[in-house]
């Protein structure tokens, strides 16, 4: 084990035991060097990797205690940055980063006007993603905003004619931007592009200010703030740093690591530049080479691949060696001493490829070459592209009853249950007024035919055949009338008879460039035809008489009335999620029997997914903005994937999703000229657009951390990354590797051509690494490697989920298993504000050792109060805001009577404790110490009836004691006091520390975990049933 002072750079090739090396390095530093575990910082690429590392270290028996593991900082870079910012005093920040980019999207959409995207630089909410992409680039690569703005002003002028036209049009049209008119005028279109380009650059500083104002931050700026703090405060408790997946480092992260290196005793970097495939996230630079050039490093290569056969290692090494940097000592060799051939398939098109792959999968299973379908992974550059085999392969797997799981497929909108719920939301927010030009959904499926099972199966109502026929005919007649109206208008406009024969053809025709006023023509056509509004009068007019069907529409119209009526007070209007749940339960489709049916789990998960988006919308905007929520889904749902996670099925995924995984059989599919590997696309195209989206190119002279000398250098970097993507794909295979190409086979026997690249031809044919699966009498060996062990995620329980299960297991299933979201009640909204305020104040008291003063406490509470969108919206509606004064007074009273008389040990103490069966997660509001040295736990409750729920308050604090006592750090510490502070009634209630009761509640938690593992979720009556958000779904008689 290396013991020198130089930074240690470990090149860990595929299958070389990287995690084992990390663990051994940690053990060496602790046991041999005797370092303080609190001085150890380990950065991983994902939370999952961090948790796995903690678990494996905890299981080690070589003198690594559980307490040692708890003291280490093992986290993602974002977890580390959050800790740094907390130390810097940023304790009230909310993170608007998430895997889908949903929250940051909502944030930018919400603030488009404040960001300056109005007037000549108007941007629609659909444009938010493009704007965010530029902000991310500016942040990651260090933009020089001032000079970039000057560059755009000098080189991308905005014509005065364009300015005058837009301003006059918007003045005459109630502020509406002339989108189509601008699009149809070449000069105006260019000026509009230039105006947006300039405003994106100008708005970036405003974006940062808005985040500061609202106490939110995205992941990139979290890193940037942490870097700024470390530059001013370079001394760190972390004297020993280990960076995993170093090849995926971006420029800001590298700057952070450099500062940490200056002040540490040991620095270890583990990774593999040959597996660097995240250039699109900013990880394009070779920091292995940079470290070697800038520092005197000790470089070690792990050259034994324990995963793959010799042939897989040979072919992957042959691919990647030519581009390996000069400092590398990597030269991978196998350990298994197994020789299996590599195979390739030639395919005429994607359908033919899907057939060949499906037949191969069937062959492997039917002949016993594999034991389970999950031994096979099909990897592609993308799982959403129409140009590869994934979609036809999924169809064939379904037809052949072959299970599969897919990750990253953007197919949520294809699901019947999703179209069904979107249809009902659409019809409850629709008003009877002049109809707009139809959007793409309305033209295709979001119309009266949605109730008739024509384009998809309507899940949320089951109308009679008679009603379905009526609605179908009404919609059909409307579409025919539009086609007929177009024929009249066509003669007026062109003087010629129209050749349009279909409803969709009408819109397609007038969206063509030759019709400069195409939108106006379409408006004229649509206005000539009576639109079939769905309302009571029309149902009667159309002759719908089935009583059950009419009852269904009555329920629909009742919800619509609540949304649209101005006579209903704001406080009595339904929230977004209340409307969502009402629509799910509207026709008894989504009931307890359906939920408990194991065949419906994916469908339920998809519906739960939508509830999470709606919840985020409630939190970012306000909770009754159902129209805005619907249109957010309209512009974003095509990026969302459905639930399909069968662990026993064939695994379909992108190469990026497969990174870090291994499979006995890997099929790398859909190699195709310029698609896989992909061709280089200039970031500065002549027409300013990439795939139809504005590029808004930032010259590299204005980016601190992006320094390509010319485009040819950028092309080379792109091509090398594409080779690395193929390398990563190949090296996922343990026993059998198949390369499948979308290129027609040549006439030559056993040969495959590869347009635009010599990869397959050179590696597989000329060097005889592979044989064709199309060859006759080929014999595939049985897989002999260790088979995949897909462990289910460890169940995590919190006190909230424990309480939920004890009150009603069925409700717990919806909330904690499927993760349905429900609206926060007003009480909860205020409670969250107060809890956050107390957390912020207590953390600052801990840092400074003294009370902040009443004025500062008031400022903190007010800031949190008014940055909550639902409270802010209440204020706009002139609802009660005297709550603020009460909250401020109550918080100050707490500090005057109790909070100022104790020592804050810690606040909002997060814990995640695991045993072999489940984990316990949560956060303790406050751990304190009294003047006489007693340690206590305190929980805040926003209530005026502290005695009403005392049973649950006791259990919660007993769980906290049980958790703390399971930690080595607390085993020998006495917890002497347990208290609940009721904020509204201003009462401090003591709870006796009773270890018999504490053991009982911990045993109760064991029982609940066992019941959940056994899928026991019975419905259970209690006094809260009539207030439950799921009461109609449950169907149990309410207890009043």
pLDDT of residue 749: 44
365's tokens? 């299973």
Alpha-carbon dihedral angle through residues 56, 59, 65, 69, given to the nearest 10 degrees: 20
pLDDT of residue 752: 43
- Asked if pLDDT for residue 150 goes beyond 70, the answer is yes
Query: Who's near 393: CB < 8 A, 6+ residues apart?
Result: 353, 354, 357, 358, 378, 652, 669
Q: What is the DSSP string of 255-314?
A: HHHHHHHHT-SEEEEEE-GGG---GGGT--S-HHHHHHHHS--EEEEE-EESSS-HHHHH
Task: Tokens 């678990």: give the residue.
Answer: 55
pLDDT per position as a tens digit, 49-93: 898 888 888 876 666 777 788 889 999 999 999 999 988 878 778
- By the 8 A CB rule, do 376 and 661 touch? no
Q: Where are the beta strands (DSSP E) in 942-1024?
A: 975-982, 987-991
- Asked if pLDDT for residue 489 goes beyond 70, the answer is yes
Domains 7-91+222-302 and 342-409+645-683+707-772 belong to one CATH topology: yes
Q: What is the mean pLDDT of residues 612-620?
A: 95
pLDDT per position as a tens digit, 269-298: 999 999 998 887 777 788 888 898 899 999
What sections of 454-517 are H helices per DSSP? Answer: 465-494, 503-510
- Asked if pLDDT for residue 208 goes beyond 80, the answer is yes
630's tokens? 């619907």
Q: What is the mean pLDDT of residues 871-883?
A: 57
Alpha-carbon dihedral angle through residues 1005, 599, 448, 512, given to the nearest 10 degrees: 100
Whole-angstrom Cα distance, residue 1017 to residue 804? 11
- Asked if pLDDT for residue 761 goes beyond 80, the answer is no
- Say whether 810 sits in a helix, a strand or coil: helix
Supply the angle between the helices 826-848 and 854-866 in degrees, to the nearest 10: 140
Whole-angstrom Cα distance, residue 13 to residue 332? 7
Whole-angstrom Cα distance, residue 998 to residue 994? 6
Whole-angstrom Cα distance, residue 828 to residue 444? 41
pLDDT per position as a tens digit, 965-1002: 988 888 889 999 999 999 989 999 999 999 999 999 99
Whole-angstrom Cα distance, residue 1004 to residue 1010? 10
Q: What kind and span of H or E run contains 733?
A: strand 733-741
pLDDT of residue 723: 93
pLDDT of residue 753: 44
| 795-1027 under CATH 3.40.109.10, yes or no | no
- Say whether 1004 sits in a helix, a strand or coil: helix
Say if residue 422 is preceded by a cis peptide, omega within 30 of 0. no
pLDDT of residue 912: 86
**What is the model's pTM?**
0.91
What class, spelled out in words, does domain 7-91+222-302 have in CATH? alpha beta
- Say whether 959 sits in a helix, a strand or coil: helix
Alpha-carbon dihedral angle through residues 200, 206, 209, 214, given to the nearest 10 degrees: -80
pLDDT of residue 480: 96
Whole-angstrom Cα distance, residue 901 to residue 929? 9
Whole-angstrom Cα distance, residue 404 to residue 391? 12
Number of helices (H) and strands (E), helices first, in the chain? 40, 25
- Asked if pLDDT for residue 41 goes beyond 80, the answer is yes
What are the residue boundaries of the structural domains of the chain, listed by start? 7-91+222-302, 99-214, 342-409+645-683+707-772, 414-639, 795-1027
Whole-angstrom Cα distance, residue 76 to residue 57? 17
Rama region for 282: left / alpha / beta (φ>0; ψ in -120 to 50; rest): left
- By the 8 A CB rule, do 606 and 422 touch? no
Supply the angle between the helices 883-897 and 854-866 in degrees, to the nearest 10: 140
- Asked if pLDDT for residue 929 goes beyond 80, the answer is yes
Q: What percent of the chain has pLDDT over 70?
A: 95
Whole-angstrom Cα distance, residue 582 to residue 574? 10
Task: Tokens 């909770």: give the residue.
Answer: 623
pLDDT grade, residue 1038 (50/70/90)?
low
DSSP classification of residue 734: E
pLDDT of residue 434: 60
Whole-angstrom Cα distance, residue 143 to residue 135? 9
- By the 8 A CB rule, do 531 and 538 touch? no
Q: What is the mean pLDDT of residues 365-391?
A: 93
Supply the angle between the helices 77-87 and 251-262 in degrees, to the nearest 10: 60
Query: Who's near 436: CB < 8 A, 6+ residues apart?
Result: none
Nearest-CA neighbor of 253 among 93, 133, 76? 76
pLDDT of residue 1036: 80
DSSP classification of residue 771: E
Long-range pairs of 766-769 with CB within 8 A, sequence gap ≥ 24: 767/318, 769/311, 769/314, 769/315, 769/318, 769/342
Work out the burial of residue 851: count CB atoms within 10 Å of its CB; fewer than 13 is exposed, 13-18 middle, 19 or more buried.
middle
In sign, the C-alpha dihedral spanning 899, 905, 911, 915 is negative
pLDDT of residue 759: 60
Strand order in the sheet with 8-12: 73-76, 40-44, 240-243, 266-271, 8-12, 298-302
Q: What is the mean pLDDT of residues 231-255?
A: 94
φ, ψ of residue 541 to 5 degrees: the values are -60, -40
Nearest-CA neighbor of 305 among 272, 271, 334? 334
What distances in angstroms separate CA 217 from CA 88, 114, 207, 446, 603, one per listed residue?
15, 17, 10, 37, 33
- By the 8 A CB rule, do 438 and 525 touch? no
- Asked if pLDDT for residue 864 goes beyond 90, the answer is no
Whole-angstrom Cα distance, residue 784 to residue 736? 10
Q: What is the mean pLDDT of residues 226-252?
A: 94
DSSP classification of residue 991: E
Q: What is the DSSP string of 703-722?
A: BTT---SSHHHHHHHHHHHH
pLDDT per position as a tens digit, 741-752: 887 555 444 444
Query: Who's near 818: CB < 8 A, 6+ residues apart?
Result: 595, 604, 605, 608
pLDDT of residue 5: 82
Q: What share of the chain is helix, strand, coil (3-state, %, to 5)?
A: 50, 15, 35
- By the 8 A CB rule, do 636 and 614 touch? no
φ, ψ of residue 216 to 5 degrees: the values are -125, 165
Provide the 10 A C-beta neighbour count for residue 276.
24
Strand partners, 928: 904, 936
Provide the 10 A C-beta neighbour count for residue 650.
29
φ, ψ of residue 363 to 5 degrees: the values are -60, -45
What sections of 733-824 are H helices per DSSP? Answer: 759-760, 799-807, 809-812
Whole-angstrom Cα distance, residue 440 to residue 444? 6
Query: Who's near 215: CB < 8 A, 6+ residues apart?
Result: 92, 93, 94, 863, 864, 867
Nearest-CA neighbor of 110 among 625, 570, 695, 833? 625
pLDDT of residue 647: 85
Architecture of domain 342-409+645-683+707-772: 3-Layer(aba) Sandwich (3.40)
Q: What is the mean pLDDT of residues 120-133?
A: 96
pLDDT of residue 764: 59
- Strands 935-941 and 918-929 turn out to be antiparallel
């Amino acid at each position: 084990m290396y013991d020198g002072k130089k930074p240690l750079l470990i090149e860990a090739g595929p299958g070389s035991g990287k995690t084992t090396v990390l663990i051994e390095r940690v053990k060496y530093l602790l046991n041999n060097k005797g370092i303080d575990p609190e001085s150890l910082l380990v950065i991983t690429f994902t939370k999952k990797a961090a948790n796995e590392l903690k678990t494996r270290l905890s299981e080690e028996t070589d003198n690594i205690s559980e307490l040692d593991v708890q003291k280490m900082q093992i986290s993602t870079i974002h977890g580390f940055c959050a800790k740094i910012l907390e130390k810097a005093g940023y304790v009230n920040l909310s993170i608007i980063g998430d895997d889908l980019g949903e929250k940051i999207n909502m944030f930018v959409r919400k603030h488009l006007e404040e960001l300056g995207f109005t007037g000549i630089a108007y941007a629609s909410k659909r444009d938010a993603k493009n704007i965010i992409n530029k902000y991310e680039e500016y942040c990651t690569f260090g933009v020089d905003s001032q000079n970039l703005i000057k560059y755009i002003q000098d080189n991308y002028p905005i014509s005065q004619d364009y300015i005058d036209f837009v301003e006059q049009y918007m003045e005459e049209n109630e502020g509406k931007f002339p989108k189509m008119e601008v699009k149809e005028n070449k000069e105006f279109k260019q000026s509009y592009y230039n105006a947006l380009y300039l405003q994106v650059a100008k708005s970036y500083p405003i974006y940062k200010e808005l985040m500061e104002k609202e106490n939110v931050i995205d992941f990139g700026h979290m890193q940037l703030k942490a870097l700024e703090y470390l530059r001013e405060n370079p001394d760190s408790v972390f004297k020993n740093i280990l960076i995993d997946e170093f090849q995926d480092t971006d420029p800001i992260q590298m700057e952070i690591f450099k500062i940490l290196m200056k002040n540490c005793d040991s620095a270890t970097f583990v990774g593999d530049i040959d597996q660097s495939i995240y250039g699109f996230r900013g990880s394009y630079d070779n920091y292995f080479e940079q470290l070697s050039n800038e520092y005197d490093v000790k470089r070690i290569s792990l050259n034994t691949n324990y995963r793959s056969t010799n042939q897989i290692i040979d072919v992957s090494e042959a691919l990647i060696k030519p581009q390996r940097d000069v400092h590398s000592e990597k030269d991978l060799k196998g350990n298994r001493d197994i020789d299996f051939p590599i195979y390739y398939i030639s395919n005429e098109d994607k359908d033919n490829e899907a057939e060949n792959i499906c037949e191969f999968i069937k062959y492997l299973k039917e002949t016993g070459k594999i034991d389970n379908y999950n031994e096979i992974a099909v990897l592609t550059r993308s799982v959403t592209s129409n140009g590869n085999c994934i979609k036809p392969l999924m169809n064939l797997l379904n037809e052949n009853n072959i299970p599969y799981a897919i990750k990253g497929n953007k197919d949520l909108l294809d699901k019947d249950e999703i179209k069904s719920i979107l249809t009902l939301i659409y019809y409850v927010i629709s008003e009877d007024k002049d109809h707009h030009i139809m959007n793409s959904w309305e033209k295709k499926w979001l119309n009266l035919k949605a109730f008739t099972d024509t384009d998809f199966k309507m899940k949320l109502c089951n109308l009679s055949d008679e009603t379905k026929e009526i609605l179908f005919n009404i919609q059909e007649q409307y579409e025919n009338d539009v086609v007929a109206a177009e024929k009249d208008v066509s003669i007026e406009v062109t003087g010629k008879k129209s050749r349009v024969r279909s409803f969709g053809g009408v819109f397609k025709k007038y969206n063509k460039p030759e019709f400069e006023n195409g939108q106006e023509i379409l408006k004229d056509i649509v206005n000539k035809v009576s639109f079939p509004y769905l309302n009571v009068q029309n149902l009667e007019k159309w002759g719908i008489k089935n009583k059950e069907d009419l009852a269904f529409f009555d329920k629909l119209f009742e919800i619509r009335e609540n949304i649209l009526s101005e006579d209903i007070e704001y406080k009595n209007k339904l929230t977004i999620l209340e409307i969502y749940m009402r629509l799910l339960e509207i026709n008894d489709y989504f009931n307890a029997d359906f939920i408990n049916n194991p065949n419906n789990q994916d469908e339920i998960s998809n519906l739960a997914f939508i509830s999470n988006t709606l919840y985020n919308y409630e939190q970012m905007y306000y909770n009754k903005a159902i129209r805005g929520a619907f249109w957010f889904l309209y512009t974003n749902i095509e990026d969302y994937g459905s639930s399909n996670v069968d662990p026993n099925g064939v695994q379909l995924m992108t190469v990026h999703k497969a990174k870090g995984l291994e499979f006995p059989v890997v099929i790398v599919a859909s190699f195709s000229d310029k698609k896989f590997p992909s061709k280089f696309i200039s970031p500065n195209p002549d027409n300013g657009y990439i795939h139809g989206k504005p590029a808004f190119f930032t010259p590299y002279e204005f980016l601190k951390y992006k320094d390509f000398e010319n485009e040819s250098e950028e092309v080379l970097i792109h091509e090398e990354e594409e080779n690395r993507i193929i390398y990563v794909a190949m090296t996922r295979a343990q026993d059998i590797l198949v390369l499948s190409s979308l290129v027609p086979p040549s006439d030559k026997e056993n040969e495959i051509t590869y347009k635009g690249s010599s990869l397959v031809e050179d590696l597989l044919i000329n060097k005889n690494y592979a044989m064709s699966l199309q060859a006759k009498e080929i014999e595939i060996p049985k897989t002999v490697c260790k088979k995949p062990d897909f462990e289910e995620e460890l169940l995590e329980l919190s006190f909230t989920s424990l309480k939920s299960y004890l009150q009603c297991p069925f409700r717990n299933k919806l909330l904690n298993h499927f993760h349905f979201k429900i609206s926060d009640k007003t009480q909860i909204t205020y409670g969250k504000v107060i809890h956050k305020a107390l957390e912020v104040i207590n953390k600052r008291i801990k840092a400074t050792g003294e009370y902040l003063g009443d004025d500062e406490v008031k400022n903190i509470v007010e800031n949190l109060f008014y940055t909550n969108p639902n409270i802010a919206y209440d204020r706009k509606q002139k609802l009660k805001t005297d709550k603020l004064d009460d909250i401020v007074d109550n918080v100050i009273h707490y500090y005057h009577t109790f909070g100022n008389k104790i020592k804050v040990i810690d606040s909002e103490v997060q814990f995640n404790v695991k045993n072999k069966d489940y984990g316990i997660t949560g956060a303790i509001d406050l751990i304190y110490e009294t003047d006489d040295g007693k340690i206590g736990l305190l929980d805040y409750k926003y209530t005026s009836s502290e005695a009403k729920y005392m049973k649950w308050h006791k259990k919660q604090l007993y769980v906290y004691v049980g958790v703390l006592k399971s930690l080595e750090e607390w085993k020998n510490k006495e917890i002497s006091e347990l208290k609940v502070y009721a904020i509204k009634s201003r009462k401090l209630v003591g709870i006796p520390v009773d270890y018999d009761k504490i053991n009982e509640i911990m045993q109760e938690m064991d029982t609940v975990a066992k019941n959940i593992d056994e899928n026991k979720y019975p419905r259970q009556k209690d006094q809260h049933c009539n207030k439950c958000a799921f009461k109609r779904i449950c169907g149990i008689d309410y207890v009043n």
